Amino acid sequence: MVVRLGGYARISLDKDGEELGVERQRVDYRTVAAVRRWTIARDYIDNDVSAFKLDVVREQFEQLLADLESGVIDGVIAYDLDRLVRQPWDLERLIRIYETRPGLVFSTVTNDINLSTDDGLTMARVMVAFANKSSRDTARRVKRKHRELADSGKNGGGFPPFGWKEDRLTVDPVQAALITKAHDDLLAGTRLSTIVREWQAKNVQTSRKTGKPITRVAVKGILINPRLAGFRAVKHQKHIGPDGKPVMGVWEPICTPERLDAVIAALEGVRAQHKTANQSNNHKYLLSGILRCAECGTRMIANMRSSWKEGSKGSRFTYRCPAANDGGCGKVSRAGEPLDRHIINLIHDAEAKLKAPAPDTAEWSGAARLAEVGQEISELISAMNAKRISAATAIAMLEPLEKERDELEYERNRHTVEQVKASAATVDLSEEFERLPIERQRAVIMKHIRAIVVHPAGRGARKFNPDLLDVVWTA
Ligand SMILES: [Zn+2]
């Protein structure tokens, strides 16, 4: 369903040195509307009219209220609440309409208020009361300044971002190498927490240099920073400029946009995958969860042998069916190390048989179309902003294009991930397997083996016997 909004913009004569021009307000709310896929059915522009003065009638504001009430529009979008109302009385009129027509949209560029919640209503009343007293708002001016910096692709303030030198323009080769390696690892299936541990072990520090171990949140933020691919980011999101395109920064990028998207997809994909494949994604042992007890079918778990010390005989750990109170039968167990070695040998053989099918290095076929669609979208938005075509027309044309772009981008990310995975899964196993992190070893195993059923070994049977295993292969 098309959501038709009224866009409201106003400029007043009370000079506080930072008024946003009407055109600027319009560009901003249209950008927000385009992103949310709302249609601007009509612009309501009050020029040079103070919302303070009680005796001034704001014609367009009145029209907006009337259209909202009669259902000509489905909601309002403005730059901020200040533009729209400054008098408590006007706010109450607006609120009454929102109460009588549930489902109306209310949005502002600064996202400062939501009239559809009780808290939002209270906030709005407080804000209008304050705005009514004082029109000067330093915070907004500062925000505006940031926004202008962002539009021009210039750097904001604060600490230099990880990956760049103090000048925030030149790549720091050491930090960039860490990022690139972490991206390679993530795309090949390494878990984020493994990378976090690696960085902590190397005492990697953010530019704040707190001396404390770097956190998971910080590492993730660094690895998916839009800035890496040259995008100007605001609050960790790509900043979209007035032309509807992401604003590019003036600094040296560290990776391509495609690679950044693939990393983000990998981080999200891995999370989803773990949820379905395994209850827990924190496996310390190669085969826990893959082994099943032949007696009761329960997934076997691994335990360190408490009696084991350096120099002791036998395996350091044991796989066992959990005890009855943990959902198993507790009847089957097996020494861990010989079992792991046996399975690794089976995997080497299986991989050798596969003879490493050459990774599909075919170029993704949709690239040209994606570029075309991006160009069309940007032309439409420019045309709309320059008023060469009406907003309604532009947005009707934008919607299918944006949908196609999203689908193409999704497809491209999948393609990138598949390619990297294909080349990662065909590493020379005999060389590399032992050095892979445990979750990647497990991934290689699960590529071939669905489950391994472990039969009871019987009393006194000390030697590892592969005949007591049923391996269920994936194909
Ligand atoms: Zn059992």
Q: Judging by beta carbons within 10 Å of its beta carbon (0-12, 13-18, 19+), is residue 191 exposed, middle or buried?
A: buried
For every residue of 422-462, DSSP letters joined together read HHHHTS-HHHHGGGS-HHHHHHHHHHHEEEEEE----TT--
Ligand 1: centre distance to CA 284 (Å): 21
CA of 292 to the centre of ligand 1 (A): 8
Ligand 1 centroid – CA 285 distance (Å) = 19
More confident of the two residues 291 and 56? 291
Task: Spell 403-426 as b/e; 16+ CB within 10 A means b.
Answer: ebbeebbeebbebbbebbbebbbe
For residues 233 and 327, membership in a common domain is answered with no
Confidence bin at 16 (pLDDT 50/70/90): very low
Alpha carbon of 348 to ligand 1 centroid (Å): 29
- Number of domains within the chain: 4
> Does 194 share its domain with 86?
no
Distance of alpha carbon 449 from alpha carbon 436, whole angstroms:
18
Its domain, for residue 9, covers 4-136
Residues 126, 106 share a domain: yes
d(CA 182, CA 191): 10
**Average per-residue pLDDT in the chain?**
80
Query: Is 154 domain-assigned?
Result: no
Q: How remote is the CA of residue 33 from the centroid of ligand 1, in Å?
A: 58
Give the pLDDT confidence score for residue 244 in this predicted structure: 67
Q: How far is the CA of 470 from the centre of ligand 1 (A)?
A: 15
325 C-alpha to ligand 1 centroid (Å): 12
| Highest-confidence segment of 60-74, 284-298, 326-340, 426-440 | 60-74
Percent pLDDT > 70 in the chain is 80
> Domain containing 267 — which CATH number?
3.90.1750.20
Say how many Å lie between the CA of residue 312 and the centre of ligand 1.
Answer: 28
State the distance from the centre of ligand 1 to the C-alpha of 449, rounded, in angstroms. Answer: 20
Residues 47 and 66 placed together within one structural domain of the fold: yes
Compute the distance from residue 456 Cα to the ligand 1 centre, in Å: 9
314 lies in the same domain as 224: no
Within this chain, do residues 46 and 129 fall inside the same structural domain, yes or no?
yes
Mean of the pLDDT values across residues 427-439? 69
Give the pLDDT confidence of 212-261 residue by residue, as tens digits. Answer: 889 888 899 999 999 999 988 776 777 777 666 788 888 889 998 888 98
Residue 162 forms part of a structural domain? no
Contact 456, 332 (CB under 8 A): yes
Residue 327 C-alpha to ligand 1 middle, in angstroms? 9
Instruction: Judge whether 143 lies within some domain.
Output: no
What value does the mean pLDDT take over residues 92-116?
83
Mean per-residue pLDDT, 4-16? 74
Regarding whether 181 and 126 lie in a shared domain, the answer is no
| Domain boundary pick from 245, 274, 303 | 274
pLDDT at 139 over 60: no
Looking at the structure, tell me whether residues 347 and 379 fall in a common domain: no
Phi-psi bin for 404: left (phi > 0), alpha (psi -120 to 50), beta?
A: alpha
Q: How far is the CA of 337 from the centre of ligand 1 (A)?
A: 20
Question: pLDDT at residue 4 above 80?
Answer: yes
pTM for the full predicted model: 0.37
454 Cα–ligand 1 center, Å: 9
With respect to residue 82, please indicate whether it lies within any of the assigned structural domains. yes
Query: How big is the CA angle at 17 (ends 15 and 21), to the nearest 5 degrees?
Result: 85
Q: Rounded to the nearest whole angstrom, what is the distance from the C-alpha of residue 297 to the centroid of ligand 1?
A: 6
Looking at residue 280, its pLDDT comes to 43
Q: Which helix (H) or strand (E) holds 118?
A: helix 118-133
Whole-number pLDDT of residue 343:
92
* Any domain includes 166: no
Query: Is the pLDDT assigned to residue 336 strictly greater than 50?
Result: yes
Query: In this structure, is the dihedral angle defined by the CA atoms of residues 187, 192, 194 and 200, taken in order, positive or negative?
Result: positive
In a domain, 111, yes or no: yes
CA of 448 to the centre of ligand 1 (A): 24
DSSP string, 277-330: H-S-S---STTTTTEEETTT-PBPEEEE-TT--TT-SS-SEEEEPPPGGGTS-S
Residue 343 alpha carbon to ligand 1 centre in Å: 20
Residues 379 and 411 in one domain: yes
- Separation of 329 CA from ligand 1 center, angstroms? 4
Mean pLDDT computed over 429-436: 69
Using CA atoms, how far apart are residues 317 and 329, in angstroms rounded to an integer?
A: 19
The alpha carbon of 291 and the centre of ligand 1 are apart by a number of angstroms equal to: 11
In tens, the pLDDT along 66-97 reads 999 999 999 999 988 878 887 788 888 999 99
> With bands split at pLDDT 50, 70 and 90, how would you rate the model's confidence at 62?
very high
Gap from CA of 347 to ligand 1 centroid (Å): 25
Residue 430 — pLDDT band, cuts 50, 70, 90?
A: low
State yes or no: pLDDT of 187 exceeds 50. yes
| 208 contact partners, CB below 8 Å, separation of at least 6 | 159
Kindly state whether residues 217 and 295 are assigned to the same domain: no
Q: Would residue 142 count as lying in a domain?
A: no
Within a 10 A sphere around the Cβ of 207, how many other Cβ atoms? 16
Does residue 435 sit in the same domain as residue 409?
A: no
Q: How many Å lie between the centroid of ligand 1 and the Cα of residue 330?
A: 5
How far, in Å, from the CA of 152 to the mean position of ligand 1? 64
pLDDT at 15: 45
Q: Residue 283 Cα, ligand 1 centroid: separation in angstroms?
A: 20
Centroid of ligand 1 to alpha carbon of 455 (angstroms): 9
Check residue 5 and give its pLDDT.
Answer: 94
Single-letter amino acid, residue 201: A
Residue 65 banded pLDDT, cuts 50, 70, 90: very high
Residue 216 amino acid letter: R
How far, in Å, from the CA of 443 to the mean position of ligand 1?
A: 24
In a domain, 163, yes or no: no
d(C-alpha 452, C-alpha 426), whole Å: 23
pLDDT, tens only, 250-283:
888 999 888 898 888 888 764 444 443 443 445 6
3-state secondary structure (DSSP) of residue 5:
strand
Of 358 and 248, the one with more pLDDT: 248
CA of 350 to the centre of ligand 1 (A): 28
Distance of alpha carbon 41 from alpha carbon 72, whole angstroms: 9
Asked if residue 374 and residue 311 are part of one domain, the reply reads no
CA–centroid distance, 319 to ligand 1, in Å, is 11
| pLDDT given at position 402 | 84
Name residue, tokens 């709310």. Answer: 29
**What pLDDT is attached to residue 278?**
41
Distance from residue 299's CA to the centre of ligand 1 (Å) = 8
pLDDT average, residue stretch 193-222? 88
